[in-house]
Amino acid sequence: MIGLYHPGDSVLHRLPAGVKLALLVLAIVAMTVFVRGPLGVGGAVVVVACLFALARISWRVALAQVRPVLWMTLIIGVFQLLTTSPARAVVVCGVLLVSVALAALVTVTTRVTDMLDALTRALEPLRRVGVNPERVSLLLALAIRCVPLLAQIVADVAEARRARGVSWSATALVTPVLVRALRTADAMGEALAARGVDDD
């Protein structure tokens, strides 16, 4: 599933979460600054593919990580073609997809608890100015969990509609997805409140 941890003993799995997050930020910044043409995008794609192979993540899992952003990337690519050039469209869309793939590689090779511990330690100095690192970490954990959860809701609703033979309709898809998402959010809120998360 999208964004969920896949156990393993590869070098990337054993790398500390804080180091992986720092390298992720540096890699995205470096691509944004230095990748200027399709050749650079191709090199970045090869590097990311090698990293997934090093982590022993199957190509099906790897493709599942970038599939949700393909439609958005296509729209951005068309816009870039109309306003700039094909080369620029390849660079913009390529950097976006590679960045998503790198972020996904971090999430599938890092336990959420390790990632949150690293984030909490990094945000600890901000406690002096009123930032609660534990709450920020909890927010990140919920965001990480809700991405695959929402994707699963959309897939379930689409499958149910196909089973009923219902013709395609954006409204008929969005409405039940929105209802289920709101119900799930209410359930998560009640569970957090029952555990005293909202208590100060």
Tell me the pLDDT tens digit for each residue of 35-66. 999 999 999 999 999 999 999 999 888 888 88
C-alpha pair distances (Å), 44 with each of 13, 24, 27, 101, 179: 21, 13, 10, 11, 40
Cα separation, 4 vs 35, in Å, equals: 29
> Rounded distance, CA 161 to CA 163, Å?
5
Question: Is pLDDT at 174 greater than 90 in this prediction?
Answer: no
Contacts of 11 (CB under 8 A, 6+ apart): 54, 55
Confidence of residue 70 (pLDDT cuts 50, 70, 90): confident
pLDDT band at 187 (very low <50, low <70, confident <90, very high): confident
* Percentage of the chain modeled with pLDDT above 70: 88
* Residue for token pair 């609660």: 132
Residue 93 near residue 77 (C-beta atoms within 8 A): yes
pLDDT of residue 171: 67
Torsion, Cα 22 25 31 32, to 10 degrees, reads -150
What global pTM score does this model have? 0.73
